Amino acid sequence: MPRALLLENIDPVAAELLGAAGFEVESQRGALDEADLTAALDGVDVLGIRSKTQVTAAVLRARPELAAIGAFCIGTNQIDLVRAAGAGVAVFNAPYSNTRSVVEMALAEIICLARRLIDRDRALHAGSWDKSAAGSHEVRGRTLGIVGYGNIGSQLSVLAEALGMRVLFYDLEEKLALGNAQACTSLEELLERSETVTLHVDGRAGNAGLFGAEQFSRMPRRSLFLNLSRGFVVDHEALRDHVLSGHIAGAAVDVFPEEPREQGDPFTSVLRGLPNVILTPHVGGSTQEAQHDIGRFVAGKLVDYTATGTTNLSVNLPTVALHGSSVARFALLHRNVPGVLARVDALVGEHGLNVDGQVLATRGELGYAVTDVSGPLPADLLDALETLPEAVRLTTFARRGR
């Protein structure tokens, strides 16, 4: 029976789907460090993680039999994707499943900051009645600047406009504006024209330190700032300085350069205790609806891959989906050089089999071919395929009914 290890409190629907597909499933609430993860992967075929667990090259080397990794979140920068691809380990994530949850939280925080609801709440809890309109504003008519116009940024754009906000956006790639949103030609232009700035960038290394003292100083005085993207993108010391000086009137931060590994661990940040600052523990996408959808989506991809070799929406392998049925199926991940498919088909023919269906895709230095054949796979054919000079990983699949 294949084994699956799910870490970081992944929604139970993932274990249910994997269990129904024949996996023995072990679930753990917390993340694991490199040494503990290496030990825990003994005998594991499929690994499920969220954002805290780091799957390094050393981890992948220690468990060469690992077939696939599911990132039950949007980002995959916690996984060595190049090493995983080279080892034939498919990686899947959930790029869309929690988009709405993040967008709704961003909108809620924009309104809370504009109305200074956090300060009003704290005052009442402290026993002080502070009924005043000072510093409290509607969001209608304000200009929202969105840095990163992907799935989250673009949906936020539409809903913010419905609230009466003017929307500007900046992205490294040219993006089609939705509604009445306007693209800015530079980050500097967006900062100078926006009263509220929200970050929705990805985890690429080039975004480290994207937002610091220079960027905060370009924003109009008494602006609002949000980061629900990646913790390493923002200089928190610079943000603290600009909040204390009054240049930034309020901020909401959901992600941090260093985050506790498990529930209940202590949290430290230079942003703690600041006025009109909302701090949340990386919960932008953590609604029950989003986590259920993510669990179902990623587990489904893992089941499809291990059962049929389908790599649709894999983030590191060529995309292949071979439909139909046959007596047997194998998948060969190989180095992307000319002639590999011809040699594969020749070997199939030499062993008295016909190719019933076949699909090949390439991605960079790798090629991935899935082949259906007309009869059971002889052991010597599998040996021949595995020993091809270009072979990276050969996978066979259970008999499939006609």
Residues noted as catalytic:
230, 259, 282
Long-range CB contacts for residues 262-265, cutoff 8 Å, separation at least 24: 262/29, 262/30, 262/31, 263/9, 263/29, 263/30
CA distances from 6 to 22, 62, 282, 289 (A): 15, 18, 19, 19
Q: Cβ distance 145 to 198 under 8 Å?
A: yes
DSSP H helical ranges for 286-401: 288-308, 340-350, 379-386
Beta bridge partners of 357: 372
Look at residue 336 and give its three-state secondary structure: coil
Q: Cβ distance 40 to 64 under 8 Å?
A: no
Q: Cβ distance 150 to 172 under 8 Å?
A: no
For residue 392, give the H/E element and its range: strand 391-397
Could you tell me which of 13, 50, 19, 53 has the C-alpha nearest to residue 36? 53
Helices and strands (DSSP H and E) totals, the chain:
13, 16
d(CA 246, CA 221): 8
d(CA 134, CA 116): 9
For residue 389, give the H/E element and its range: none
